[in-house]
Structure 1
Amino acid sequence: MRQLPEVDRDAIRLVQDPKFPRLLEQITATGGCSHPVHLSGSTTTVDGTTGEILHHYDTRNEPGERLLVRCRNRRATICPACSRLHAGDTYHLVRAGLLGGKNVPASVCHRPRLFVTLTAPSFGPVHRAGESCRPRRDGGTCEHGRPLSCSVVHAPDAPIVGQPLCPDCYDYTAHVLWHAHASKLWDRFVIDVRRRLASSVGLVQSRFARHARLSFARVAEYQKRAAVHVHAVIRLDGPTGPGEEPPAWGTAELLTDAVRASARRVRVGTPHSSAVGELTLRWGAQIDARPLRTDGDGPDDDAVAAYVAKYVTKGASDTGAGTDYPLSTWGDIESASVSEHVRTLMRTGWRLGGLPEYAPLRLRAWVHTLGYRGHILTKSRAYSTTYAALRAERAHHQGHTDLPDAINKRHWRYVGSGHTPGAALIAAGIADDLVESRWLALAMVQEGEWCR
């Protein structure tokens, strides 16, 4: 008799368990999370005035004596269900800063607002897609004997796109160190934009905050060449933030000029090393700053929010620019499923991480992201709402809120994570059903609007 696969045997075992309906409820409550966290413990809600126990919950009555909660991993390669939730939160976070909502006034849509893209500089010529790659009339070769031209029209998904024409000419050291300092370069850029805005209207730089505030949300994305570039929404407010109009001199044109000038000017120096020297790092020559207007002349606000939300769920492995998990040894680098270009960047980061001058950069800890140490999405405090506020709002909508004048005594501990093979199959099915339900609901809404 043919034996059933392990996943089928496990699924049958779960379904036959008397507590399966409750397990199904838990998996559904996590949205079909691929790697839920298992918690054991209890919560007791007590009236703060009388001491009466209002509610008591204990996992001893749950399947396996544990409660499943979302892993909240933003990467689609790790957990599609949680990444979709994170993308939705990001969309609302960015959109609120563009159009209002979530305690942000709708008047922000009339403020000076830009959609900015800043790129990494060139570390050496790489193969390009969409046009004749690198045509050169004189051809020629580099000092290593490799051709300096390529007349092939590469498809966007061709493996060679983003790879160096000559790996020996490519500046891998500068690439890794640029990644390690990219967040600092962004901080310098924001400071310089404020300074330029102040000086352009005759203000003392230290008094800029009394007249206006610069708010932003930015997301980092890996290009095909495995270099990070930045997409950002930048908005000019009054000194107290989104609730106050900017001064009369605060225009989109003035903000655009300041952004472009600062992106060309700011520099960050690396620590001096006897092996490398001292490098001066800057943004790349490709700078894009597009005004966002309410009259439709420019990028659409909803499209910008969706664009940022799409990239926040991508990990390094999605673009082939690293891995979504840390690499702790040289052997991990050699066995990683990456291109030779990315592997060389990892090797370079590992070697540089062994130099005492670069110890504060923790390059070996971040070798899986090619030295990039920043968060994928960051925002200024006054730009819009927060992820925590969005989660609290969702919990309130679902009825998971604390009672007024109540004291909650919580005792929880971590006891594991993930699914058994059968539970993983069930979770994937629930996640797919939820996605289909959302698409159907969206289609019905759109059809209703069309009928009106």
Structure 2
Amino acid sequence: MPRRWIGSYHLIRAGLVGGKGVPASVTGHPCLFVTLTAPSFGPVHTRRQHNGSVLPCHPRRDAETCPHGRVLSCTARHRSEDDRLGEPLCPDCYDYTGSVLFNAVAPLLWKRFADALRRHLAKLGGLTLRDMRDQLVVSFAKVAEYQRRGVVHLHAVIRLDGPAGPISPPPAVQHAASVVTAKVPAYNDQPEQVLRWGTQLDTRPITMNGELTDQAVAGYVAKYATKAAECVGTIDRRILPGEDLTALPVRDHARRLIAECLRLGAIEELADLRVTQWAHMLGFRGHYSTRSRRYSTTLGDIRADRQNHARDEDITTGRLPLLDEDTVLVISEWEYAGKGYSPGDALVAGLAGVPLPSSSPPDGGDAR
């Protein structure tokens, strides 16, 4: 199991059931598992299932023909490894600009979502935001998931803490997700754009024994710690402006998204979005996983615990001797063996016919 997955799993679960320095009393605090989605930028090939059966991708009896001559319908029942998954039904109709800009502002949308959630909770309690902070703390841990179409979704565990106990109903999350927006400035002949979360919002309570348990959530969230944008088919390095995109080992859909990043990044009004530097991430520059300060432990503390545990195991099994902290363990030593001719002196001596000492090394010295 990858160490990053293990660390993220323990971080998420400690925030749900306690441990790693988190009190077990958090199990009595209301927790939600929230998925924030991206809006649609055009129909793409998808794999849909119902009761274990795979459904047709985009069946349309009276399917329209797009301006580029493609019929916007697909009756295929895609396999999970099908390369067409995530590809637009018509690449020329797909909104590549909107996809890149949404990824670029997704971190800002999350920040405004969290701020709006706190403000709405304060309003429900009849408090000012400052007064609410003395009674209620909104803690969270989230991860970003790349969809096959190249946009990010955010999965978050949101927990309400505070001395007053459970005081907030779940509808506050629905309100916060619906009201926040992020604006992209006008550029060239394009007007100012307003981007927001998609209409699909999944909000489910987390329980200790039920459909959505703490273990299931921790495992589900942690698996995205080991994934990046590779499911879209992009690469794991930065792409330079002027680079030959046709030579990149990527799918055409990913290549178009990367090209759009480079095009938008060259526009002065959009320079703050830094989509050129993050073209390999399709415009998304947020960290794959973040948490609020009070949610749980840190990955650094988890790594330190793992290292200490491994060291204690080595001492117990005899693989590592038990030493005091101030003990200096000498594993080698150096000894001066003498100095011979330098390379220049050796050359002069050789030309003059002076025999070289048998102990003189060719590089003028030796140590062992």
Q: TM-score, normalised by structure 2?
A: 0.80
**What is the aligned partner in structure 2 of residue 199 from structure 1?**
123
Counterpart selection for 1:128 from 27, 31, 46? 46
Q: Which runs of 5+ in 2 are unaligned?
A: 49-54, 313-322, 329-368
Corresponding residue for residue 360 of structure 1: 272
Residues 1:340 and 2:340 aligned together: no
Q: Decide whether aligned partners of structure 1 residues 339 and 142 sit closer, same or farther in structure 2, where only a CA change above 3 A counts.
A: same
Q: Which residue identity lines up with residue 157 of structure 1 in the other structure? A: E
* Matched positions, count: 312
What's 2:62 paired with? 138
Aligned to 1:175: 99
Q: Separation in 1 of the partners of 2:166 and 2:7? A: 33
Instruction: Report the CA distance between 1:337 and its aligned residue.
Output: 1.7
Aligned position for 1:369: 281
Query: Bigger shift: 345-354 or 266-275?
Result: 266-275
- Code of the residue aligned with 1:392 in structure 2: it is A
The list of structure 1 runs, each at least 4 consecutive aligned residues, that deviate by more than 4 angstroms after superposition, is 403-406
Give 1:248 shift.
4.8
Aligned-residue CA RMSD in angstroms?
2.2
Matched, 1:103 2:26: no
- Aligned partner of 2:35: which letter? T
- Alignment partner, residue 195 of structure 2: 281
- Structure 2 counterparts to residues 284-303 of structure 1, below 5 A: 284-294=198-208, 296-303=209-216
Q: 1:248 to 1:179 in 2, by over 3 A?
A: closer
> How far 1:307 sits from its partner (Å)?
1.4
| Rg (Cα) greater in structure | 2
- C-alpha separation between the residues in 1 aligned to 2:59 and 2:121? 41
Paired amino acid for 2:278: W
Q: Partners of 2:287 and 2:324 in 1: how far apart?
A: 36
Letter of the 1:347 counterpart:
A
3-state SS of the aligned residue for 2:144?
strand
Contact 1:126 1:162 survives alignment (8 Å): yes
Relative to structure 1, the CA distance from residue 332 to residue 233 in structure 2 (aligned partners, 3 Å threshold; closer, same or farther) is farther
State yes or no: 1:315 paired with 2:228: yes
Contact kept, 8 Å, 2:160 with 2:166, in 1: the verdict is no
**1:43-442 maps to which residues of 2 (within 5 A)?**
84-130=2-48, 131-238=55-162, 245-250=163-168, 254=169, 256-294=170-208, 296-317=209-230, 319-399=231-311
How far residue 271 of structure 1 moved from its aligned partner, in angstroms, is: 2.2
Structure 1 residues 188 and 399, CA, compared in 2 at 3 Å: closer, same or farther?
A: same
The superposition leaves residues 89-125 of structure 1 with CA deviations (integer Å, 9 ceiling, x where unpaired) of 1111111001100010111122100111111110111
Structure 1: give runs of 5+ residues left out of the alignment: 1-82, 239-244, 409-452
Instruction: Give the structure, 1 or 2, with the largest relative contact order (CA under 8 Å, sep 6 or more).
Output: 1
Query: Which residue is 1:417 aligned to?
Result: none
3-state SS in 1 of match to 2:154: strand
Q: Which residue of 2 aligns with 1:70?
A: none
Identity of aligned residues (%): 47
Q: TM-score, normalised by structure 1?
A: 0.66
What is the CA–CA distance in structure 1 between the aligned matches of 2:294 and 2:242, rounded to whole Å? 43
What secondary structure, in the 3-state scheme, does the structure 2 residue paired with 1:183 have?
A: helix
Q: Which moved more, 1:113-122 or 1:308-317?
A: 308-317
Shift of 1:394: 2.4
* Contact 1:174 1:279 (C-alpha < 8 Å) held by counterparts: no
**Residue 180 of structure 1 aligns to which amino acid in structure 2?**
A
Distance 1:381 1:217, change over 3 A: same
Whichever residue aligns with residue 112 of structure 1, its letter is P
CA-to-aligned-CA distance 1:11-52 (integer Å, 9 cap, x gap): xxxxxxxxxxxxxxxxxxxxxxxxxxxxxxxxxxxxxxxxxx
Q: Distance in 2 between matches of 1:109 and 1:193?
A: 21
CA drift of 1:193 comes to 0.7
Structure with the bigger percentage of helix? 1
Give SS of 1:149's match.
Answer: coil
Q: Which residue of 2 aligns with 1:31?
A: none
